[in-house]
Amino acid sequence: MSLRAALLAGEVTAVEVAAHFLERIAAREDLGAFVSVTNESALDAARAADAALATARSAPTPATPPLLGIPLAHKDLVDVAGAPTSSGSATQQARIAEDDHPVVAALRAAGSISLGKTQVPEFGLSCYSENLIASPARNPFDRDRTPGGSSGGAAAAVAAGLLPFAPGSDGGGSVRIPALACGLVGLKPGLGAVPGDVTRGYEDSFGSPILTVSGPLARSAADAAMLMDAMATPNMRGAHREAVHRAADLTGLTVATSTASPFEAALDVPLSDDALRAFTVAAERLALLGHHVDAAEFNYDPEYFEFFSTGWTASLSLLDFDEAQAERLMPLTREMRERALGRSLTEHRAAGARLREFGRDVRGQWGNTDIVLTPGLAMAAPRIGEFAALPPQQDYELQCKWTPFTSMVNVAGLPAITIPMFTDGDGLPVGVQLIGRAGSEPQLLAIAAQLEAF
């Protein structure tokens, strides 16, 4: 990122950079990307960063934090010390966080400066970023359409130039979906690649694999790699930028292409012509890059839709709300919580076991190749309000139809990256997804850099 070089060289100050992006945020309130903006604390942090940068320039050292003076923002699902957290819900007043979430703490230690909190769906449940506490996040390519979710505010902010990049979180596609909708590179790391994601273990209280991981949203593979280096385990820091730097050397990977979705047994999942064209173009370009590309047949458990839905919403049963609070939930959240409360612990644990079994199965199927290529989103981003206007079950089903290739990767615990390929006739981005083996985050970023070069 040229911004980092400019800061290190003293060509621009951290205060100037923070002020620039804060002005951009204020000028684009129409996008609904931010729930809160922390101007004063951001400028205080920028002044401290300038002092540290001055010291670094006078006595250069490899220990200089890699993101020193670079601004970003965090989703309103994670705690940032001193900032409000609402989790996108009207059930209670936003609370001022006392401590940083572990991923936030790691990025703060890397020198980043938080400018505020970005818009999310209630409790991160949906793949569109609309709730009852703030304006919906809007897609910079078409303000009438959603930027996706649950990292929708973050993606809108990055795509519109309100942030240089941003961390997101992905429990069923929540980094990759908004990245695809907003024309960004979105990396979902494998479970455990970001240590702050697994501080409480690798399974939840019902025995389901932990689905949610943290990953970068950026306008280029190089920027995503820089942010990922700051989030990763210590032994991998630097590996992602190095892989992108040496991307031209990467060749001869085996790539399996597939348009199969585990939702197909339960739902009609039509793919738009643009989604299929992006998939075909990506396969052709990977072959031109010297990779070995072949179609593959993957067989998915036909009951996936049911047990994934049960496992995905199980944690809603742990929300301790009184009747008045429950009435302030979004209709989808309220219905899904009622269903979760109606299931027994045995049923929740059975769904967890099925998810673990599904993960083992697909890791085995996909593990016969280096990379699995799938389409990205099944269709163009729906319009603001389109999901929420439907009855809750239909709302949820439309979300699954729009995003038929993302949640399965979370269940598998593997890394995946989404890459924009072109814009459609309406000027909306269209992209694809690449799924890698465990530990292949640097490789996925290198392939993204290769495809960017076309």
**Per annotation, catalytic residue among 75, 117, 188, 401:** 75
Segment 49-56 shows an average pLDDT of 95
Give the pTM: 0.98
pLDDT tens-place string over residues 169-189: 999 999 999 999 999 999 999
What is the rounded CA–CA span in Å between residue 347 and residue 414?
Answer: 26
432: left (phi over 0), alpha (psi -120 to 50) or beta: beta
Is there a contact between 187 and 445 (Cβ–Cβ < 8 Å)?
yes
pLDDT-based confidence at 36, cuts 50/70/90?
A: very high
Q: For position 137, what pLDDT does the model report? A: 98
**Per annotation, catalytic residue among 150, 151, 169, 407:** 150
Which amino acid is located at 201 in the chain?
G
Q: Which residue has the higher pLDDT, 2 or 372?
A: 372
Asked if 150 is an active-site residue, the reply is: yes
Average per-residue pLDDT for the chain: 97
Report the topology of domain 2-68+76-452. Amidase signature (AS) enzymes (3.90.1300)
Closest to 112 in 3D by CA, of 165, 150, 159: 165
Q: For position 59, what pLDDT does the model report? A: 77
What is the rounded CA–CA span in Å between residue 223 and residue 312?
Answer: 31
pLDDT-based confidence at 221, cuts 50/70/90?
A: very high
Q: For position 63, what pLDDT does the model report? A: 81
pLDDT tens-place string over residues 66-122: 999 999 999 999 999 999 999 999 999 999 999 999 999 999 999 999 999 999 999
Q: Which residue has the higher pLDDT, 58 or 242?
A: 242
Segment 12-20 shows an average pLDDT of 98
Per-residue pLDDT for 296 more than 90?
yes
Asked if 75 is an active-site residue, the reply is: yes
Q: For position 62, what pLDDT does the model report? A: 73
Q: For position 58, what pLDDT does the model report? A: 85
End-to-end Cα spacing for the chain: 20
Segment 298-319 shows an average pLDDT of 98
Per-residue pLDDT for 1 more than 80?
no
Segment 134-142 shows an average pLDDT of 98
**Per annotation, catalytic residue among 89, 129, 169, 174:** 174
Asked if 401 is an active-site residue, the reply is: no
Segment 308-318 shows an average pLDDT of 97
Q: For position 190, what pLDDT does the model report? A: 98
CB neighbour class for 325 (10 Å; exposed up to 12, middle 13-18, buried from 19): middle
SS (H, E, C) the chain: CHHHHHHHHCCCCHHHHHHHHHHHHHHCHHHCCEEEECHHHHHHHHHHHHHHHHHHHHCCCCCCCCCCCCEEEEECCCCCCCCEECCCCCCCCCEECCCCCHHHHHHHHCCCEEEEEECCCHHHCCCCCCCCCCCCCCECCECCECCCCCCHHHHHHHHCCCCCEEEEEECCCCCHHHHHHHCCEEEECCCCCCHHHCCCCCECCCCCECCCEEEEEECCHHHHHHHHHHHCCHHHCCHHHHHHHCHHHCCCCEEEECCCCCCCCCCCCCCCHHHHHHHHHHHHHHHHCCCEEEECCCCCCCCHHHHHHHHHHHHHHHCCCCHHHHHCCCHHHHHHHHHHHCCCHHHHHHHHHHHHHHHHHHHHHHCCCCEEEEECCCCCCCECCCCCCCCHHHHHHHHHHHCCCCHHHHHHCCCEEEEEEEECCCCCEEEEEEEECCCCHHHHHHHHHHHHCC
61: which 2 tokens?
Answer: 């050292």
Segment 306-328 shows an average pLDDT of 97
